[in-house]
Amino acid sequence: MTGGLKDGETEEKFLHSPFIRKQGNIYKPNNKDMDNESLNEKTMEDIHTKEIDLVNRDPKHINDDVVKVDFEDVIAEPAGTYSFDGVWKASFTTFTVTKYWCYRLLTALVGIPLALIWGIFFAILSFLHIWAVVPCVKSYLIEIHCISRVFSICVHTFCDPLYEAMGKCLSSIRIRMTKEV
């Protein structure tokens, strides 16, 4: 009888082809090679959902030399020309608090729209680099390689014999220099 189970065979053997059982489903792999790809996908998800550090907000130190401006960097009184201590303390407090709250207000008002704009900008930049610049450069390198081969053949075919002949003709010329006193 065709299609029936033989002795010792299970029904599971007929449900899946040998290729699928050996390699695994592409959505749920059960072999180690394909399982590593699912780990890479999970790592990619973790990049976008990782927690941000609220204490150290410049971990790569990109603004170390740019925006560290304190009261002492802007306002300083040389020896002998001091203002009243109260005025100095009030000036320090006013400068520090104003800088702090203006920055916070500006980031609250403009930070999210600018983050959106910069996100779009860098997404477009990445897209152009991946889908336009690199393929154009690779295409150029492939084409220039062909052109350089043709140019090299032309130089070796036409210029080498000419220069070799000129070299042989001019090789018998001897120059002797003497210094007369």
Residue 138 within a domain: yes
Task: Return the H-helix or E-strand segment holding 11.
Answer: none
Q: 171: part of which helix (H) or strand (E)?
A: none
pLDDT digits (tens, 9 = 90+) for 65-102: 777 788 888 888 888 888 999 999 999 999 999 999 99
pTM of the predicted model, to two decimals? 0.49
Q: Which residues, other chains included, contact 154 with Cβ-Cβ below 8 Å and sequence gap of 6+?
A: none
Residue 40 lies in a domain: no
Residue 157 placed within a domain: yes
99 belongs to a structural domain? yes
Is residue 162 within 8 A of residue 154, CB to CB? The reply is no
Closest by CA to 89, choosing from 75, 104, 103, is 75
Nearest Cα neighbor of 99 from 56, 136, 69, 132 is: 69
Q: Is residue 51 part of a domain?
A: no
Q: Is residue 43 part of a domain?
A: no
**With helix as H, strand as E and coil as C, how does 82-149 read?**
CCCHHHHHHHHHHHHHHHHHHHHHHHHHHHHHHHHHHHHHHHHHHHHHHHHHHHHHHHHHHHHHHHHH
pLDDT in tens, 10-52: 544 444 444 444 444 555 555 555 555 555 555 555 566 677 7
The residue with tokens 């002998």 is 80
- Give a yes or no: residue 140 inside a domain: yes
pLDDT confidence of residue 37: 54
**Could you give the number of structural domains in the chain?**
1
Domain assignment present for 68: yes
* Domain of residue 89, residue span: 59-162
